[in-house]
Amino acid sequence: MRIEERSVRRACERAEEHLLARRRDDGGWNEEMVWCPALTACAVLAHHACGRPLDARDRDAVLRYFDRWQLPDGSWGLHPASPGYLYATTLCYVAARLAGRPPDHPAAARARAWVLRRGGPLWAPTWAKAWLAVANLYDWDGLPALPPELFLLPSWLPFHPSRFYCHTRMIYLALSVLYALRFRMPEDPLVRDLRAELYPQGWEGVRFADHRTTVTPGDVYVEPTGLLHAAYGALRAGERATTAALRRRAVARLLEEIRYEQRQSGQAALSPVSGLLNAVALHAADPDGPGAAEALEGMRAWRWDDETEGLRWAGSLSHTWDTAFAIQALCASPQAARHADVLRRASRALLSYRVTEDPPDPERHWRSVGRGGWCFTDGRHGWPVSDCAAEALDALLAARRWTGEPLPRTVRAEAVRFVLSRRDASGGFSSYEERRGSPALGRLNPSEMFDDCMIDRAYVECTGSCVRALIAATRDGDLEETADAHTAVRRAVRYLRAEQQPDGMWRPAWGVYGTYAAFHALSALRAAGVPAGDPAVAAGVRWLTERQRDDGGWGEDWRSCLERRSVPAAEASATQTAWALLALDAAGVPPEHRAVLRGVGWLLEHQQPDGAWPLGQPSGVFMNTSLLHYKLYPVVFPLWALGRAARAAGR
């Protein structure tokens, strides 16, 4: 048996038409990523807290979005496939009421009943309680201590916040300011109504201090450790000894960081999760100043709005990520030559997203090298990521064959230097920043809902992307960084071998699940010259083929991320099937192999009339529990896999 080349080519043509129709005006791609509805709720709360509520049109659009994602039991989940979370449901309920929904509306009544059955806000996670305190619907005394003075400690201390993962660090900058200022919205009739609705036992008699660490079990993924509870006690004791002058100094230092972040990011912030908190912190510190208004205006960068879904805020945008993968998929297509103009424009768009400067005064502001990297998004916010830079570099180098446009040597050199700056002591590559803290900081994780959020560290997927890019960028041997890059690749290969599990699987951090990690790991090992018969490659191939479904596809359930093992899904996924096929192709599995033939057949059978494939379950993940849809994945990866299959069949 062989792959029917003509059928595969036709499928590629239809997928290409679909992909090309989704280009942006600049020639790149940026498809919506579907996130948690609680983020949109935080946006509504932030606007109200800053005295700038959304206008009537936006409020109606937000309510339409909430209605779209509310579950039949009245709750909202943490992600598109999630059951109800008290965190999300409480915030969405409050936001809906602030947006004008009356309490007796059926959707509001169902949500409120769901919240109250689970104990109400007193049992919500800490981040929800903090937002409720901002809304004057919770007392700051009912939260664990968040003293800003912690940031004034010597940065060499192993638990200094500068060592935290950047997303966590930026969130706690703003939270600590709000906690220190005990900021809350003014009490008005709506606030009093909401208090009565959320605390039917009576607001005045609530002992908030008794609930500093109470969280409903359904929202807990990481149980607070004894060490964390001890740290909370120490922080509260230290706070009692803090002078007013020291507190003012600490708040001023954190506000300096927040203002720096807002300037450097063009008011977009690292993400809207921290950016919305930044806006409220700036308003709390200076209600008449321009900071909050500018920050809220910057948050418009993260908005999506349409008639079907309504108005919502996404946790990130994906200009670089989508464009880099789209370019690589088109370059793998049998019809790549006819897309030279498309690839040329897309490459120029990708180059325009590049970060060209390092952040100023990086040591004071705990920032890392940025020049030469690419952000996940279009580069506006100035937070480049190792695998985004690597995939962008790989895409630009692949496109040269068809565009005829050379990639400037300085772009290659700066990109290689940036990628090398994210090397980890383990030999792998981290993401936003070099690893700064010990894994032991995980024992101080205060988030309750998320894991792997305390330090940046080496990741299998980032390492795989970086290895491929370093090899491609230094192939000509004309860069001063070539020897350093080759050394890094050798160490990364050892890291990937060490990370492989006894059954042949690699554990990912950013996708669902083992098929995603296998795609990156096997591609990197083979690009580094590891032979197809190597035990690590053979074990990875065996793991993949053993998990192929009876129908020929591959499918892992999103719960794999929670359980940290491969959990079979009820149905195959086009994205995961494509990842498996790309991994097998990279590993040197021939196109006539039964697993490849069946996988290609599954993709051909399940292609939709519009040229794409069903979205399926969430395929991306953040901090282990925050699953999300990448809407471009079910077209770009199947196209890439089928293109490789068609080329292999035509050889």
Asked, colleague to colleague, whether 5-31+318-650 and 33-313 share their fold, the answer is yes
58, 139, 219, 387: the catalytic one is 387
Domain spans of the chain, in order of start: 5-31+318-650, 33-313
**Six token digits for residue 637:** 């990866």
How many other CB atoms are there within 10 angstroms of residue 412's CB atom? 23
Residues 6+ apart with CB under 8 A from 603: 11, 553, 574, 577, 578, 581, 613, 638, 641, 642
**Six token digits for residue 571:** 């149905």
**Six token digits for residue 457:** 């560290």
How many other CB atoms are there within 10 angstroms of residue 212's CB atom? 16
* Terminal C-alpha separation, the chain: 15
**Per-residue pLDDT at 648:** 78
Sign of the C-alpha dihedral, residues 458, 621, 583, 390?
A: negative
φ, ψ dihedrals at 82, nearest 5°:
-80, 150
Type of residue numbered 72: P
**Per-residue pLDDT at 6:** 86
Question: Helix, strand, or coil here: 53?
Answer: coil
- 3-state SS of 433-472? CCCCCCHHHHHHCCCCCCCCCCCCCCEHHHHHHHHHHHHH
**587-623: pLDDT as tens digits:** 999 999 999 999 999 999 999 999 999 999 999 999 9
- Cα distances (Å, whole numbers) of residue 122 to 86, 135, 228, 231: 10, 15, 20, 21
- 3-state SS of 97-152? HHCCCCCCCHHHHHHHHHHHHCCHHHHCCHHHHHHHHHCCCCCHHHCCCCCHHHHH
Q: Residue 255's beta-bridge partner residues?
A: none
DSSP state of 162: G
**511-569: pLDDT as tens digits:** 999 999 999 999 999 999 999 999 999 999 999 999 999 999 999 999 999 999 999 99
Which of 145, 324, 129 minimizes the C-alpha distance to 235? 145
Is-contact 632 31, C-beta < 8 A? yes
**41-85: pLDDT as tens digits:** 999 999 999 999 999 999 999 999 999 999 999 999 999 999 999
Type of residue numbered 125: P
- CATH architecture of the region 33-313: Alpha/alpha barrel (1.50)
Is-contact 420 485, C-beta < 8 A? yes
Question: Helix, strand, or coil here: 639?
Answer: helix
Sign of the C-alpha dihedral, residues 187, 192, 195, 197?
A: negative
Residues 6+ apart with CB under 8 A from 318: 30, 31, 33, 376, 377, 630, 632
Q: Residue 313's beta-bridge partner residues?
A: 303
Residues of the chain falling short of pLDDT 70: 1-2, 651
What is the Cα–Cα distance from 492 to 530, expressed in whole angstroms?
12
CATH assignment of 5-31+318-650, given 3.30.930.10, 3.40.50.10490, 1.10.260.40, 1.50.10.20? 1.50.10.20
What is the Cα–Cα distance from 61 to 100, expressed in whole angstroms?
11
Average pLDDT, the chain: 96
456 is catalytic: no
